[in-house]
Amino acid sequence: MSITTINKNNIDALALGATLLGSGGGGDPLYQLAMAHHQLDQYGPVSLINVHDLQDEDLIVPLAFMGAPLAAIEKLPSGKEFPALLAMIEKVANKKIKALMPGEIGGANALTPLLIAGIMKLPIVNGDLLGRAFPTIDISTAALNNISHNPIFLADAMGSIAVLETSSLKASETVARAITVAMGSIAAVALYLMTGKQARNNGIITGSIEQAIKLGQAIINAQQMNQDPIAALIAATEGIVLGFGTITDINQVIKDGFLQGSVRINSINQELILYYQNEHLIAQKNGKVVCSTPDIIIPVDTQNGTPITSESLAYGLRVTVIAIPAPKLWQTAKGLAMVGPRVFGYDFDYQPCTFTKDSL
Amino acid sequence: MNQRYTIGIDIGGTNTDAVFINQDGILLKSTKTTTTANVTEGFSAALQDVITGYPANSITHIKVGTTHATNALLQHNNLFTVGIIRIAGHNPQLPPYYNWPSSLKKTVFRGVSTIDGGFECSGQSITPFNPDQAIKAAQQLQTQGAESIALVGVFSPLNASQEELAAEAIKNSLGSSLSITCSAHVGGIGFIERENAAILNSALKKSLINGFQDLAQAAHSLGLTAARLSFVQNNGTIIDMHTACMYPLFTLSAGPTNSFIGGAKLAGLTEALVIDIGGTSTDVGLIKNGFPRRTLNSSTIANIPLNFPAPDVCSTALGGGTCIKIDNETPCLESKSVGNRLLIDSVSFGGSSLTLTDVALKAGLITIKNAEPDRVSLTKQQIDSLYAQIKNRLQELIEKMRGPEQNISIVLVGGGATLLPPNLIPNAITCPHANVANAYGAALAEISATVDTVVSLTQRDIILTELRNQALNLAVEQGAAASLVRVIEEKIIPYHYIPNNLARIIITAAGGQ
């Protein structure tokens, strides 16, 4: 690992790369980025460590904000959330926290641990629980590898804290979501607490922070040197271009609390349709599925390579749709049972997008 | 015959343009003068120029799009210092003015105070609001040197009552002359961008209220006592003097909007792609339903993020003053421009900079008094190559802006439009008076009102009808004719992970007077 700190020079790249890995979801990191910059200004760089740097019994705490993006850009965090949360965790676990980690690399939450790591002088583990973004907290590599979802810690801006023991994985999502609403539809959350040993044993997706920084840096460098950002992006990943064109139709509804819809992208002889539920889950080209969850599907601005979240899709935008292979953990039968197309209501099985490369 | 006339004026960074139109919208006179350091002088000169020969009392409207606000922000002078009161019930972790250009921050910032109140997205107060805290905070900020106050409440676009109560309490206690801006009146969802908008609005009041009054005085001195003075907003519609003084922020960057609307109107179109070629840059915009398409994403002014919708503009460094360098016999466009030294520095005028205007002179597309195109040593091949480059550049912008609307008409306007060979852009329309399209756009500007709010859409149809009526009534209240008013834009942005189907609704209604 060549990157040893998160600092003022690579944080913009991290935010950009995280938005890409969000597959359209995870929220726009604009506010998180400003707040993280502010923390780095005050407390300096935060060290980024490898999971192998940790002892077997070291306590790692994955952090995130959960709730509504709307609430996140109005009711900003007060700064009380994480100190209260971490103190409660150490009290309940009766153990010192050794490192923090983003719960979700995709979108705004990639930056969440930076709001507290500097002041607490804690390092951040180069990894996360998803390798991308997914809409609910019952999905995670930790859950996949039988790391307990209990206890879950939630805190709000005013100082309220909740410690949850839930009856099932499914209940962890429904109960935590209900408490989040009571906390003003935005809450700081710590979940899937684990040891260094558990993390090393496939509990997390390793290297995702570094991957996000590299992706973001590739786009920024290309923009600065007036080179094609799409080519730079493809060169920096194992990704492929699924297609390009102009957004000609957006069909968007809120269903069961989630933003669901489809977006149509047309060019002269191809039609690409993306189906999303917060995240883009399926890409269909000329009527045929060419990419599906858990592979990452992300439209970027054709001109400058900036990723476009499902909330900021706009009629008339010119986009290129990129697919990036899912982390290997998700491509297993067990992984697909948690995040494959059928879980989201689609009637077909996952095909890795790289297999379709020749047919493009 | 009781003819009534309207004057449209666009005070830009370089030129002050004016048009004189009758009540049927027919352009009778126009003028182009240089924007003066004291903006009012150029304004008076342009007015004087177009009204000559018409009885002063027949002129009923003067509509002005102006660069006053942009100038004030770029020059950092004559701005009020601002104290901020956050009605939040908690301390938001990001300080105000974060990421502002430091010199502007230093000029304006005089402190921040956070008081109880604010709303959750459910509509409940975060903590109970107390107006006395607002008064105390304002007093404290005044002692720190704040000349004006910006009030920013959490979720105030959902419910502006706390901001409004705080403003009233402060005025009652500290005097009604204190300038106060409620953020809900100048911005939508997004606490930081709305706070920035409120700060800028407060700061701008210092010079703009005087600036606007100077213009009124100038019109008065010319005998235009019957004319109603109004100002064009960046959405292309007008606000009256009183509103402009309350919300000077809305008059920011009306220039491109005016050109786009004016261009489409000159061509008699309600849908068009307008290319405005000026002295240093070219702006491309899309007119739909008579108004410019707008970006929903944050706009940036003087490097400060704001969240009011700005016209969707694509720009490139291409204009009459654009410099051209010859590389190995091949001419290519540079990004720099000679700007307002065009008639001095260009080769045709004895200068040493080869400009696009030289090329047009040499190609015989235009003639300018005192110009000597023979000084320009370009071959026909080189000229053709340059125009091919320009064509490519413009085609790229056109493709980007029009997207799927492949059949939309293209209109060329601006002082630089005549520098291009006819049909360089196939089927592009060039109209008479294209060089004053911006002032024409201002002259024809209508009155509008926008409702920008967050509501529950559980009873979607009822709510939407109600909000549409609200926007229509507001526009009529502000002077639009009830027979002409209509909804010109409607945006529904649903929010997820939130109960009750909450959505941001932006409805704009507009109509002529």
| Per-residue pLDDT band at A358 (split at 50, 70, 90) | very low
State pTM to two decimals.
0.89
CB B156, CB B163: distance < 8 Å: yes
Asked whether residue B469 is assigned to any structural domain, the reply reads: yes
| Per-residue pLDDT band at B297 (split at 50, 70, 90) | low
CA-CA distance, B289 to A274, in Å (whole number)? Answer: 29
CA-CA distance, B431 to B51, in Å (whole number)? Answer: 23
A248 contacts on B by Cβ (under 8 Å): 403-404
- Number of structural domains found in chain B: 2
Tens digits of residue pLDDT in B73-94 = 877 878 999 999 999 999 999 9
Tens digits of residue pLDDT in A225-255 = 878 999 999 999 888 999 999 888 888 776 7
Record: contact A158-B90, CB cut-off 8 A: yes
Residues 1-20 of A with CB under 8 A from B: none
Record: contact A75-B121, CB cut-off 8 A: yes
| Per-residue pLDDT band at A360 (split at 50, 70, 90) | very low
A253 contacts on B by Cβ (under 8 Å): 494
| Non-local CB neighbours of B31 within 8 Å, separated by 6+ positions | B17, B18, B46, B49, B50, B436
Query: What number is the average pLDDT over the span A166-195?
Result: 96
Query: What number is the average pLDDT over the span B179-205?
Result: 93
B315 contacts on A by Cβ (under 8 Å): none
Tens digits of residue pLDDT in B463-473 = 999 999 999 99
Record: contact A70-B502, CB cut-off 8 A: yes
Asked whether residue B507 is assigned to any structural domain, the reply reads: yes
Beta bridge partners, B313, equal none
Q: Is A251 on the interface with B (CB under 8 A)?
A: no
Pairing type for strands A59-67 and A97-102 reads: parallel
* Per-residue pLDDT at B399: 80
Q: How far is A308 from chain B (nearest CA, A)?
A: 11
Record: contact B400-A259, CB cut-off 8 A: no
CB B413, CB B264: distance < 8 Å: no
Domain boundary assignment for chain A: 5-208, 230-359
Q: Is A78 on the interface with B (CB under 8 A)?
A: yes
Q: How far is A11 from chain B (nearest CA, A)?
A: 15
- The complex scores an ipTM of 0.91
Tens digits of residue pLDDT in A23-41 = 999 988 999 999 999 999 9
* Largest Cα–Cα separation, chain B: 77
CA-CA distance, A156 to A152, in Å (whole number)? Answer: 14
Asked whether residue B31 is assigned to any structural domain, the reply reads: no
Asked whether residue B246 is assigned to any structural domain, the reply reads: no
CB B367, CB B382: distance < 8 Å: no
A71 contacts on B by Cβ (under 8 Å): 120-121, 498
Domain range A230-359, CATH architecture: Beta Barrel (2.40)
* Facing residue for B93 by CB, picked from A69, A74, A76: A76
A160 contacts on B by Cβ (under 8 Å): none
Q: Is A69 on the interface with B (CB under 8 A)?
A: yes
Average pLDDT across chain A, whole number: 92
CA-CA distance, B305 to B293, in Å (whole number)? Answer: 19
What's the distance, Cα to Cα, between the start and end of chain B in Å? 20
Q: In the predicted model, is pLDDT for residue B337 greater than 50?
A: yes
* Per-residue pLDDT at B82: 97
**Residue at which a domain ends, from B181, B209, B237:** B209
A38 contacts on B by Cβ (under 8 Å): 93-95, 98
A177 contacts on B by Cβ (under 8 Å): 497
**Residue at which a domain ends, from B162, B181, B209:** B209
Helices (H), B233-346: 241-246, 255-266, 342-345
Q: How far is A247 from chain B (nearest CA, A)?
A: 8
CB B127, CB B88: distance < 8 Å: no
CA-CA distance, A1 to A22, in Å (whole number)? Answer: 22
Q: Which of B55-59, B129-133, B211-215, B311-315 comes out lowest in average pLDDT?
A: B311-315
What's the distance, Cα to Cα, between the start and end of chain A in Å? 34
Asked whether residue B53 is assigned to any structural domain, the reply reads: no
Query: What number is the average pLDDT over the span B291-313?
Result: 73
Q: In the predicted model, is pLDDT for residue B138 greater than 80?
A: yes
| Per-residue pLDDT band at A354 (split at 50, 70, 90) | low
Query: By percentage, how much of chain B surpasses pLDDT 70?
Result: 98
Residues 124-153 of A with CB under 8 A from B: none
Asked whether residue B134 is assigned to any structural domain, the reply reads: yes
* Facing residue for B404 by CB, picked from A157, A246, A253: A246
Record: contact B94-A258, CB cut-off 8 A: no
Q: What are phi and psi of B320, to 5 degrees?
A: -60, -30
Q: Are the folds of A5-208 and A230-359 the same?
A: no
Average pLDDT across chain B, whole number: 90
Q: In the predicted model, is pLDDT for residue A81 greater than 50?
A: yes
Q: How far is A315 from chain B (nearest CA, A)?
A: 9
Beta bridge partners, A101, equal A62
* Facing residue for B403 by CB, picked from A79, A303, A316: A316
Full residue range of the structural domain in which residue B506 is found: 446-511
What is the CATH classification number for the domain harbouring B97?
3.40.50
| Per-residue pLDDT band at A349 (split at 50, 70, 90) | very high
* Per-residue pLDDT at A283: 95
Record: contact B93-A77, CB cut-off 8 A: yes
B29: burial class by Cβ within 10 Å (0-12, 13-18, 19+)? middle
* Per-residue pLDDT at B505: 86
Tens digits of residue pLDDT in B454-492 = 888 778 889 999 999 999 999 999 889 999 999 988 887
Query: What number is the average pLDDT over the span A8-33?
Result: 95
The one-letter amino acid at A251 = N
Tens digits of residue pLDDT in B276-287 = 998 888 989 999
Residue B177: count of CB within 10 angstroms of its CB? 6
* Per-residue pLDDT at A1: 57
Q: In the predicted model, is pLDDT for residue B12 greater than 90?
A: no
The one-letter amino acid at B88 = A
Looking at chain B, which residue has its C-alpha nearest residue A266? B404
Instruction: Choose among B144, B13, B14, B26: nearest CA to B433.
Output: B26
* Facing residue for A74 by CB, picked from B91, B191, B494: B191
Phi-psi map region of B511: left, alpha, beta (phi>0 left; psi -120 to 50 alpha): beta
Residue that is written with structure tokens 């858990």 in the block: A294
Q: The domain A5-208 is classified under which CATH number: 3.40.720.10, 3.40.50.150, 3.40.1180.10, 3.40.1610.10?
A: 3.40.1610.10
CA-CA distance, B164 to B180, in Å (whole number)? Answer: 10
* Per-residue pLDDT at B205: 94
H/E/C letters for each residue in chain A?
CCCCEECCCCHHHHHHHHHHHCCCCCCCCHHHHHHHHHHHHHHCCEEEECHHHCCCCCEEEEEEEEECHHHHCCCCCCCCHHHHHHHHHHHHHCCCEEEEEECCCCCHHHHHHHHCHHHHCCCEECEECCCCCCCCCCCCHHHHCCCCCCCEEEECCCCCEEEECCCCHHHHHHHHHHHHHHCCCEEEEECCCEEHHHHHHHHCEECHHHHHHHHHHHHHHHHHCCCCHHHHHHHHCCCEEEEEEEEEEEEEEEECCEEEEEEEEEECCEEEEEEEECEEEEEEECCEEEEECCCEEEEEECCCCCECCHHHCCCCCEEEEEEECCCHHHHCHHHHHHHCHHHHCCCCCCCCHHHHHHHC
Tens digits of residue pLDDT in B424-444 = 998 899 989 999 999 999 999
CA-CA distance, B248 to B246, in Å (whole number)? Answer: 6
Asked whether residue B35 is assigned to any structural domain, the reply reads: no
Residue B400: count of CB within 10 angstroms of its CB? 16
Q: Distance of CA A249 to CAs A311, B297, B420, B507, Å?
A: 14, 18, 35, 21
DSSP class of residue B227 equals P
Query: What number is the average pLDDT over the span B225-242?
Result: 91
CA-CA distance, B90 to A75, in Å (whole number)? Answer: 9
Residue A253: count of CB within 10 angstroms of its CB? 11
Q: How far is A40 from chain B (nearest CA, A)?
A: 12
* Per-residue pLDDT at A130: 97
Asked whether residue B105 is assigned to any structural domain, the reply reads: yes
**On the CB side of A135, how many CA atoms lie within 13 Å of its CA?**
22
Query: What number is the average pLDDT over the span A179-204?
Result: 96
Record: contact B91-A69, CB cut-off 8 A: no
A70 contacts on B by Cβ (under 8 Å): 121, 189, 454, 495, 497-498, 502
Q: In the predicted model, is pLDDT for residue A205 greater than 60?
A: yes
Looking at chain B, which residue has its C-alpha nearest residue A308? B297
Q: In the predicted model, is pLDDT for residue A359 greater than 50?
A: no
CA-CA distance, A323 to A285, in Å (whole number)? Answer: 13
| Non-local CB neighbours of A77 within 8 Å, separated by 6+ positions | A35, A65, A115, A157, A188, B92, B93
Tens digits of residue pLDDT in B379-403 = 999 999 999 999 999 998 888 787 6
Query: By percentage, how much of chain A surpasses pLDDT 90?
Result: 80
Record: contact A76-B95, CB cut-off 8 A: no
Q: What are phi and psi of B308, to 5 degrees?
A: -90, 145
* Per-residue pLDDT at B130: 98
Tokens, residue B436: 């004053």
Query: By percentage, how much of chain B surpasses pLDDT 90?
Result: 62
Beta bridge partners, A59, equal A97, A195
